[in-house]
Homo-oligomer: A and B are copies of this chain.
Amino acid sequence: MGLTKTEEFTKAQNEMAVLAKALGHPARIAILQFLIKTKSCVCGDIVEELPLSQSTVSQHLKELKNAGLIKGDIEGPSVCYCIDEKTWSKAKAQLDKLFDSYKEPGCC
Cβ-defined partner of A32 (8 Å) among B9, B24, B98: B98
Q: How many copies does the complex hold?
A: 2
A77 interface residue (CB < 8 Å to B) = no
A interface, how many residues as a size bin?
35 or more
Q: When each residue 27-48 of chain A gets 1 if its CB lies under 8 Å from chain B and 0 otherwise, what string results? A: 1111011011001110000000
Most buried by B among A6, A32, A52, A106: A106
Assess the B13–A26 pair: CB atoms within 8 A. Answer: yes
**Assembled-state Cα–Cα distance A27/B16 (Å):** 11
Assess the A41–B106 pair: CB atoms within 8 A. Answer: yes
* CB neighbors of B among A1-32 (8 A): 4-6, 8-10, 13-14, 16-18, 20-30, 32
Q: How far is the CB of A50 from chain B (nearest CB, A)?
A: 8
**Assembled-state Cα–Cα distance A10/B34 (Å):** 13
